[in-house]
Amino acid sequence: MATFQFRLETLLDLRRRRRDECRRVLAEVRRQEAELAAAGERVVQQRVSQLQELRNLNSADELNVDATSARRYYAGQLTVEIANISRQRKLLEGQIDVCRHALDKADQDVKACEHLRDKQQTQFLKAQEQRAQRELEESWSAAHRDEVNTC
């Protein structure tokens, strides 16, 4: 009995590989975004800490101008760093959207190819069944023809 051979199997494999690559890239971009989010949290905590130290220095009996100035400068630098991280996260969000759309398209392409394969396989199996039924009917007819001829 013949076996089903999908003629577009290499195309299906190619589309699956492309979908897997889209998944890998999306996972990498999401990992980068998570790292940036964690870095942003750390910088925000550092800034909060610097502002608290600045408050403590201002409430002390003696004002240490150098320490106060250094804390203010560092808190300002941290504010700039927070803004940079925020911009980078926005860029990554755009990349995530692009990756999601590419993954959706690649997944649709794979599903379309698989649907075509399933449809062709069903047609192949139906044709095989019809062929087998025809052969059975022909052998039955031949056997009965021989019975009629012998009588």
What is the average per-residue pLDDT within 120-133? 94
**Terminal alpha carbon distance of the chain:** 36
Query: Strand, helix or coil at 93?
Result: helix
Query: Is residue 150 pLDDT above 70, yes or no?
Result: no
| pTM (whole model) above 0.85 | no
pLDDT at 29: 97
Calculate ∠ Cα 10-14-15, nearest 5°.
120
Per residue in 70-94, pLDDT (tens digit) is 999 999 999 999 999 999 999 999 9
CB 8 within 8 A of CB 114: no
User: Residue 6, by phi and psi: left (phi above 0), alpha (psi -120 to 50) or beta?
Assistant: beta
pLDDT in tens, 16-39: 999 999 999 999 999 999 999 999
Look at residue 149 and tell me whether its pLDDT is greater than 70: no
The least confident of 19-23, 85-89, 107-111, 131-135 is 131-135
